[in-house]
């Protein structure tokens, strides 16, 4: 028996819509990362992008379990003296709500060229409307 390795010509991409309204952030991110990487397909190959496109709607209404809304912190550093910036999910939600989903999904995909290519297929929208109706996306339930 020979090991199967998918070729770029074998890949058929679909579009999925995930409604994040009243869903836990981690569950939404896990499902989005799984679809982006293509792990739900029998032809999954780790070094080839076999994943689908994912549209996440209602990102501003995603929930965090427990007290993470206040206690969790996102830290970044500019490299300058005193350039450390700290934010909570509540502050991020006010400033740019799609960033919560994007950061969670980014943490679940590989940090290399392939991961950046897969992350490019993620489309996140704060409201219920999205401009991808022409692709006929199917609603994905969690």
pLDDT in tens, the chain (142 residues): 888 899 999 899 999 999 999 999 999 999 999 999 999 999 999 999 999 999 999 999 999 999 999 999 999 999 999 999 999 999 999 999 999 999 999 999 999 999 999 999 999 999 999 999 999 999 998 8
Neighbours of 118 (CB within 10 A): 23
28 domain residue, yes or no:
yes
Answer yes or no: is 41 within a domain.
yes
- Answer yes or no: is 124 within a domain: yes
For residue 16, list its beta bridge partners. 54, 138
What is the residue range of 59's domain? 14-63+98-130
In a domain, 141, yes or no: no
Domain of 29, CATH number, reads: 3.90.1180.10
Is residue 85, in this structure, part of any structural domain at all? no
Residues 23-49, buried b or exposed e (16+ Cβ, 10 A)?
A: bebebbbebbbbbbbbeebeeebeebb
For the record, the structure tokens of 73 come out as 């912190």
Overall domain count for the chain = 1
Strands (E), 1-142: 15-19, 53-57, 74-77, 84-87, 122-124, 138-140
């Amino acid at each position: 028996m020979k090991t199967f390795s998918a070729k770029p010509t074998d890949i058929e991409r679909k579009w999925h819509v995930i409604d994040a309204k009243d869903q836990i952030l981690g569950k939404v991110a896990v499902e989005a990362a799984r679809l982006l990487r293509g792990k739900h397909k029998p032809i999954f190959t780790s070094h080839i992008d076999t994943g689908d496109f994912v549209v996440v709607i209602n990102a501003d209404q995603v929930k965090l379990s427990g007290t993470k809304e206040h206690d969790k912190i996102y830290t970044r550093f500019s490299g300058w003296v005193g350039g450390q910036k700290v934010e909570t999910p509540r502050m991020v939600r006010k400033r740019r709500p799609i960033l919560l989903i994007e950061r969670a999904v980014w943490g679940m995909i590989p940090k290399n060229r392939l991961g950046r290519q897969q992350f490019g297929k993620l489309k996140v929208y704060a409201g219920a409307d999205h401009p991808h109706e022409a692709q006929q996306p199917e609603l994905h339930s969690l």
